[in-house]
Structure 1
Amino acid sequence: MTITQQEQARIFQHCERFIHQHYPQSPRQVLSGLVEYVDEEAQADRYGTGELIESFEAEIAHLLGKEAAVFMPSGTMCQPIVLRIACERRGRKRIAYHPTCHLELHEFDSYQRLHGLERVLLGSEHRLFTLDDLRQIPESLGALLIELPQREIGGQLPAWEELTAITDWAREHNIATHMDGARLWECKPFYQREYREIAALFDTVYVSFYKILGGISGSILAGSADIIAEARIWQRRQGGNLFSLYPYVLSAQKGVEKHLGRIAEYCAKAKEIAEALSVLPQVEVLPRIPQTNMMHVFLHGERERLIDASWQIAEETRTMLFRGLVPTLLPGYSKFELTIGEASMDIATEDIAHLFQRVFELAEA
């Protein structure tokens, strides 16, 4: 019998261990943590100006090796803005990206409805696109968006040689290169390069602060000083230049200090967990060896029974494995997305494998 949402909320509230990302926090806990973190002399920003926000923008711009940066409420705002700027400067309306790009799946065609852009999809939704896919596009492009890593296919990354070949080709054809770096922070261990070296392949870069860095919300767009200056105007036009953004900026800054230095640990733990789970005959992991700290975990069995088993284990052991599963194209398999963070590090890998074995035993009983 499927567990009700009310029962799920009660069980989740009493959980003490989580294999996904960081420990959940209530708004009160988050705000209390910011009170302890913020300097007593700090002053609120005002319409994007002031030491607090400007110093953070400069810090991230330096980290990414770019001239300037602007803090915005969301990537959904800053990415279409910068793509519009790039296309207008080249006199071309077309942008190209992977079929599972965030702009395609989650933004209700904002690139077209707000900015008059046209999109071209590159390659298959089930794999990374390649240079050959890009070369086959007959239309002239104004901008190319590359997501690093590609979330919807398990956090996969192109090889460095392929990535440089793609961005070099784009530059040779006067196509702006933009990185959807919502999870760029997790790419460093795979490429074994500093963030500025990865970002150097792109004209502009967007990064997020509410994912692995654990911020409340917020993003930064980084690039040349003239592009960022124009982006600030569009931010104001779209209502994103809020009177004050300091709660988001402070939580982002805190997240950078707390988690950025642990990314390599999170990625190493992801490989350990993937290896341990792959031993179970009912589990498939994509990618087989995680390239970042995230993966897609495919479970074989009746979906509702697996979900119920996970909630039963959560109640018995106060350990949350997964809250739900989504159907897949593989017969008999459903999946969930697993991102390794601070909470994941506190559970022994062998314990995680044992708990998943229990899931299958309960689901099959």
Structure 2
Amino acid sequence: MRGCERLLSGVRPVTVRERLAELTAVAGPELMPDYYGDGLVTELEERVAGLLGTPAAVHFPTGTMAQQVALRYGAEVTGRRAVALHPLGHQEVHERRAYADLTGLRSVHPTTAPRNPTAAEITALDEPVGTVVFELPLRDAGFVLPAWADLVSAAEAARAVGARVHLDGARLWESAPYLGRDLAEIAGLADSTYVSFYKTLGGLSGAAVAGTEAFAAYARAWRHRHGGQLFQQWPAVLSALDGLDRELPRIPDYVRHARTVAAALAKLPGAIVVPQPPHTNQFRLWLPHPAGRLNEAVLTFAEQERVWFAGGWQHTELPGHAMAEISVLAPALDWSADDVIETGLRLLDRMHC
């Protein structure tokens, strides 16, 4: 992938030396490192709070840690240990249920449908919950988002049953175009919002949660208890600030172009694109071939033609089909629909050799 001249999905990996050069280029000659959360960390927190329109934001080294703290806060201020989560949600699938095993909370699933819960489903919960979580977008359902009106009514329903609203916004940055609202209006629906710096923004690592001053004070205390008050974090924080400057303004272009790429991919023989059109700059592609053969073909194609199509093909429950997640970022912007179709057909030709 690193040796390719063109990439359809993802970004070209860089070496440590190249990454250090990038950070050096954005760091002024007098920039000093942070110490236990001051300096650059404070700057990043203030930047995020401003973008999300909240009184405060708190930096965390990982999103898993940040979300545990947010859900714990909801349990303590409401006195309710149950949390309304989607079974495909990040806390259930990708965080090893840390909210339950480390924080002692338990989950309630308002719906199993491949989307966020509706107002009616939240109202119909048969037990009280401290927090209702909305993952924007719901990654493991195909990076899907609700309509803005549906999200508003669902947030209102959560408050009506006495729960806090938490946005799992690891990819909130790319959700704004589909929802048709700016980041502050989206975060304004919630009592707390989590965002990630290393996904679309391209930071080294790290996350933040945003909300009231009282929530931020609590988050800082529990960040320390979780071992997240690190001595210095300037490489990750500097890369996050760079991502906000460099990548955040380009995300609407990525989202728009993802629709062009998805429509072209859907024309490949046997292809299935979900959702169609994409809600963000990421979506899922199924092709009627075994995952192993697709991964081998992509690698051979990259080695011989220096073109990267899409990797990470996985076996699925759909018989005879494999699935890959497509991420439309800066390298994909110069691909036309014809480029996508022509490259896809040449790749698939290799499956029959």
Tell me the TM-score normalised to structure 2 length: 0.97
Tell me the distance in 2 between the aligned counterparts of 1:315 and 1:117.
48
1:280 CA drift (Å): 1.9
**Matched-pair identity in %:** 38
Q: Which runs of 5+ in 2 are unaligned?
A: none
Q: Which residue of the other structure, out of 21, 35, 38, is the alignment partner of 1:46?
A: 35
Q: Mean alpha-carbon deviation: is it higher for 113-122 or for 281-290?
A: 113-122
Tell me the distance in 2 between the aligned counterparts of 1:96 and 1:184.
19
Tell me the TM-score normalised to structure 1 length: 0.93
1:312 CA drift (Å): 2.1
1:225 CA drift (Å): 0.4
Q: Which residue of the other structure, out of 95, 98, 109, is the alignment partner of 2:86?
A: 98
The reply on whether 1:281 has 2:272 as its aligned counterpart is no
Residues 99 and 125 in structure 1, CA contact (< 8 A), matched pair in contact too: no
1:316-335 paired onto structure 2 within 5 Å: 316-335=304-323
Tell me the distance in 1 between the aligned counterparts of 2:290 and 2:102.
43
The reply on whether 1:260 has 2:256 as its aligned counterpart is no
Question: For residue 213 of structure 1, what is the aligned residue in structure 2?
Answer: 201
Tell me the distance in 1 between the aligned counterparts of 2:296 and 2:106.
44
Residues 182 and 207 in structure 1, CA contact (< 8 A), matched pair in contact too: yes
Residues 301 and 333 in structure 1, CA contact (< 8 A), matched pair in contact too: yes
| AA matched with 1:40 | P
Tell me the distance in 2 between the aligned counterparts of 1:301 and 1:250.
42
The reply on whether 1:149 has 2:149 as its aligned counterpart is no
1:272 CA drift (Å): 0.1
1:269 CA drift (Å): 0.9
Q: Mean alpha-carbon deviation: is it higher for 328-337 or for 122-131?
A: 122-131
| AA matched with 1:16 | E
Q: From the superposition, tell whether residues 125 and 24 of structure 1 become closer, same or farther in structure 2 (CA, over 3 Å).
A: farther
The reply on whether 1:172 has 2:171 as its aligned counterpart is no
Tell me the distance in 2 between the aligned counterparts of 1:125 and 1:166.
15
The reply on whether 1:19 has 2:8 as its aligned counterpart is yes
Residues 314 and 323 in structure 2, CA contact (< 8 A), matched pair in contact too: yes
Tell me the distance in 1 between the aligned counterparts of 2:290 and 2:36.
52
Q: Which residue of the other structure, out of 95, 102, 116, is the alignment partner of 1:114?
A: 102
1:125 CA drift (Å): 5.4
Residue 122 of structure 2 aligns to a residue whose secondary structure is helix
Question: For residue 6 of structure 1, what is the aligned residue in structure 2?
Answer: none
Question: For residue 187 of structure 2, what is the aligned residue in structure 1?
Answer: 199
Tell me the distance in 2 between the aligned counterparts of 1:105 and 1:20.
23
Residues 2 and 13 in structure 2, CA contact (< 8 A), matched pair in contact too: no
Tell me the distance in 1 between the aligned counterparts of 2:287 and 2:260.
18
Residues 131 and 162 in structure 1, CA contact (< 8 A), matched pair in contact too: yes
Please list the CA deviations of residues 276-301 of structure 1 after superposition, one character each: whole Å capped at 9, or x if unmatched.
11122321100010011010000012
The reply on whether 1:61 has 2:61 as its aligned counterpart is no
Tell me the distance in 1 between the aligned counterparts of 2:90 and 2:266.
29
Residue 322 of structure 1 aligns to a residue whose secondary structure is coil
Residues 258 and 278 in structure 2, CA contact (< 8 A), matched pair in contact too: yes
Tell me the distance in 1 between the aligned counterparts of 2:155 and 2:68.
19
The reply on whether 1:272 has 2:257 as its aligned counterpart is no
Tell me the distance in 2 between the aligned counterparts of 1:147 and 1:58.
23
Residue 88 of structure 1 aligns to a residue whose secondary structure is helix
Residue 255 of structure 1 aligns to a residue whose secondary structure is helix
1:258 CA drift (Å): 0.6
Q: Which residue of the other structure, out of 10, 22, 40, is the alignment partner of 1:33?
A: 22
The reply on whether 1:88 has 2:69 as its aligned counterpart is no
Question: For residue 227 of structure 1, what is the aligned residue in structure 2?
Answer: 215
Please list the CA deviations of residues 88-120 of structure 1 after superposition, one character each: whole Å capped at 9, or x if unmatched.
111110001111111101222211222111111
**Paired positions, count:** 353
| AA matched with 1:284 | I
Q: Which runs of 5+ in 1 are unaligned?
A: 1-11
Please list the CA deviations of residues 118-168 of structure 1 after superposition, one character each: whole Å capped at 9, or x if unmatched.
111231153443223223321100001110011111111001111001100
Tell me the distance in 1 between the aligned counterparts of 2:83 and 2:232.
32
Tell me the distance in 2 between the aligned counterparts of 1:134 and 1:333.
34
Residues 282 and 301 in structure 1, CA contact (< 8 A), matched pair in contact too: no
Residue 207 of structure 1 aligns to a residue whose secondary structure is strand
The reply on whether 1:313 has 2:308 as its aligned counterpart is no
